[in-house]
Structure 1
Amino acid sequence: MKVVLTIAGSDSSGGAGIQADLKTFEAFGVFGASAITVLTAQNTLGVQKIHPLPASFVAEQIRSVTADFDVAAVKIGMLHSTPIIETVAAFVETLDIPVVLDPVCVSKAGSNLLEDDALSSLRELSRMATLTTPNLHEAYRLFGYLSGESDSLDALIAHPSPVLIKNHVVGNLSADLLYFGRSKRIFTDDLIPSTDLHGTGCSYASAIAASLALGNSLEESIVRAKRFITEAIRRAPHIGHGPGPINHKAGAPHAS
């Protein structure tokens, strides 16, 4: 069984963060390990409290996992601060396996999840990743990207690794745009009208990482992950009083 490591924050409500990552890994048939960066008190209404862990302890978790397991891919989520980002970057520099970075900045409920002075460090980490998966807001903060404006593509064209920008809407389709240099590919699936989107970014990046660990190409991994997310949204459990979580079990590749 392939092992995938998630380096991310903990979501006490179970819909996002490492909890969503581990559910996604299970759905894809890979074994999930985790290194927790921050603890959060949160639910579908927002993030009430963030408790960062010391960067040295994040590094210790990573060392413990990698000393015992042959990790096939890494997914990176909420890092929160510059010291944690730099610690993770030092680890990523040593790797020759797929690394998928979800550059978490703001939660679905609008809570800020990245310290203001950490953006440049996060941007540098994205240069080391196999794939970075920002939403439209994160793509603007990291790369100055504005949907539909060709003169906002300079930073993306110069970026040394692929970037998948999520959450475009084209008619009745959900569209994600993969940029790598001057190449662009569009990935589409049904647009599901729903407010139950808590943890979709975490789960999408985790699904891509899991698929890469299983030996699929980057583009095939994106296709599989997008299909997974679409079905997980379609059959969301409708719980909570804010943007609810998705149904990871329903989105599983083997689900009926």
Structure 2
Amino acid sequence: MKVVLSIAGSDSSGGAGIQADIKTAEYFGVFCATAVTALTAQNTCGVNEIYEVDEKFIEAQLKSIISDFEISAIKIGMLSNKKIIDVVSEFLSKINCQVVLDPVFISKAGSPLMSNENINYLKKLFKFATILTPNLYEAKSLFGDDLEILAPCDVVVKNIKKSNFSIDKIYYKNGLIKEFKSKFINSSNLHGTGCSFAMAITANLALGKSLEDAIKISKNYIYKAIINAPNLGNGKGPIRHNLNRI
């Protein structure tokens, strides 16, 4: 069985972050090890409190995992400060596998989750990434409103709404651009879709899929997971990660 590693924050409501990553990885038949970067007190209505994990303990988690598992691919989510980014940067410099970097710093509603200084510091990880998976707000913050994307890795911008479609655009580092299209779903059950999409790509890369195929499979997975969402909570509910239980 292939092993993937999620370096991300914990979501107490179970719909996003580490919890979503584990569920998504299991659906695709890979084993998910984790390094927790932050603890959150949250539910479908919002985040109430965040506790950042000490960077030395994050480093200890990473060392423990890498000493015992052969990691096929890595997904990176919430990294909230420079010390944590430095630890992850040092870790990535010593390993050789595909990396999916989800730059979690602006919410789907457009609210900032990280200071501009830390956002710029996060860019030091781009050189280690196989692909970035920003939402539209994050992509515009990183590359400008016209999305003139210049990055040392491929970039897929998620959920660009056009007419009745949801479009993901991949900007290859060689300059090519390709669109992946699905029907737009008017749903409130969108909690953790970004995390789950990034982990789905990670899992499929670990399984040997090409990047393009991994994105196609992952987009289709998220579409079905939203349609079959369990309608839990009073806010933005989680998707159904285990589609085998429909």
**After superposition, where does 1:145-224 map in structure 2 within 5 Å?**
146=145, 149=146, 152-153=147-148, 156=149, 158-181=150-173, 182-224=175-217
**Mind listing any 5+ residue stretches in structure 1 that lack a counterpart?**
none
* Counterpart residue identity of residue 178, structure 1: I
CA drift of 1:110 comes to: 6.3
| SS of residue in 2 equivalent to 1:207 | helix
Q: Residues 45-96 of structure 1: CA distance to partner in whole angstroms, max 9, x if unpaired? A: 1111110011111111011011000010000000111111111111112222
Provide the residue aligned with 1:235 in structure 2.
228
* Structure-2-length-normalised TM-score: 0.95
CA drift of 1:116 comes to: 4.0
Contact 1:211 1:221 in 2 (8 A): yes
Provide the residue aligned with 1:10 in structure 2.
10
User: 181-190 or 219-228: which moved more?
Assistant: 181-190
| SS of residue in 1 equivalent to 2:233 | coil
CA drift of 1:170 comes to: 2.5
Contact 2:108 2:137 in 1 (8 A): no
User: 107-116 or 73-82: which moved more?
Assistant: 107-116
Aligned length: 245
* Counterpart residue identity of residue 160, structure 2: H
Cα distance change, pair 92–204 in 1 and its aligned pair in 2 (3 A) = same
Percent identity reads 49
Q: Does 1:143 align with 2:143?
A: yes
User: 92-101 or 73-82: which moved more?
Assistant: 92-101
Contact 1:78 1:113 in 2 (8 A): no
CA drift of 1:117 comes to: 2.5
Cα distance change, pair 165–109 in 1 and its aligned pair in 2 (3 A) = closer
Alignment partners' CA distance in 1, 2:158 and 2:120: 21
Alignment partners' CA distance in 2, 1:128 and 1:121: 14
* Structure-1-length-normalised TM-score: 0.91
Contact 1:46 1:109 in 2 (8 A): no
* Counterpart residue identity of residue 197, structure 1: L
* Counterpart residue identity of residue 134, structure 1: P
* Counterpart residue identity of residue 43, structure 2: N
| SS of residue in 2 equivalent to 1:22 | helix
Provide the residue aligned with 1:92 in structure 2.
92
Contact 1:13 1:44 in 2 (8 A): yes
CA drift of 1:111 comes to: 5.8
Provide the residue aligned with 1:125 in structure 2.
125
Provide the residue aligned with 1:245 in structure 2.
238
